[in-house]
Structure 1
Amino acid sequence: MPIYDPAHPGEILGEDILKELNMSITATAEKLGISRKTLSSIVNGYAPITAETAIKLENVFGKPNAEHWLRMQMTYDLLHARQKLAA
C-alpha cells in the first residue's frame, strides 16, 4: 500500500488557488455558480470535486483543467477506498 496520502483536491483549491488570488469562499462560490456551503465543504475536504464542479473551476480559473481536478479526486478517492477495504 502506498505510504503517501494525497491532499484532497479541495484543499489544493483553497490553499493554492484561493489564497494565492486572495479570493473568499463566498466570492468564489458566486463566480462558480454554486452555494457557499458546497464550496466550503469541498475546500474543507468533506465533499468531492464532481465533474460539473471541475468544469466550472476550469471555466473560472483556466488552469488546472477539469481533467486534472478529476484525476486528483480519483487518486484521493482510490487511496481512501483501498485503506478502508484493507482495514
Structure 2
Amino acid sequence: MNMHNPAHPGEILKELVLEPLELSITEAARHLGISRKTLSKVLNKRGAITPEMALRLEMAFGKPNATHWLRLQNAFDLWQTRQHSIDIQVIPFEVCHAGLLKA
C-alpha cells in the first residue's frame, strides 16, 4: 500500500521525539554524537536518515528502532522519486502468458 506524501522522518523525529522530551537540537546532537548542523539538516528536511543515523537514534532513544527510521526514510524517498517518474527512461520487458520474459 502506497502512502500519499509521507512525512520526512526528520519532521517525525522533531515532533514525536525531540519536542515531547523538550530536547534542544544542540542537546540531542550531543547525545547522538553528531554535529548540531547535521541534526539540523535532518530536522529541516535537507538531510536524510542514513543507516548510521538510524542506529544512533535507536541507541539514544530505544524505540522506534533503526529499521523503523530507515523505512520512514525509504517511504519518503520513494514517494519523492515517484513524483518525477516521468523523467525516468525505461524500456519495460514484455512478459508472455507463462510469466517468462519474452525476447
What TM-score bracket applies, with the shorter chain setting the length?
over 0.9
Ranges in structure 2 where 5+ consecutive residues have no aligned partner: 88-103
Question: Which residue matches 2:94?
Answer: none
Report which of the two structures shows the higher radius of gyration computed on alpha carbons. Answer: 2
Question: Which residue matches 1:64?
Answer: 64
SS at match of 1:46: coil
What is the CA deviation profile of residues 13-67 of structure 1, one whole-angstrom value per residue up to 9, with x for unaligned ones? Answer: 0011100000000000000000000000001111000000000000000000000
Question: Which residue matches 2:32?
Answer: 32
> Taking structure 1 as the reference length, what is the TM-score of the superposition?
0.94
Q: Percent identity?
A: 53
Bigger helix fraction: 1
Structure 1 residues 61 and 3 mapped into 2: Cα distance closer, same or farther (>3 Å)? closer
The answer to whether structure 1 residue 73 and structure 2 residue 76 are counterparts is: no
Residues paired across the two proteins, number: 86
Ranges in structure 1 where 5+ consecutive residues have no aligned partner: none
Which structure exhibits the higher relative contact order, with contacts defined as CA atoms closer than 8 Å and separated by 6 or more residues? Answer: 1
> Taking structure 2 as the reference length, what is the TM-score of the superposition?
0.80
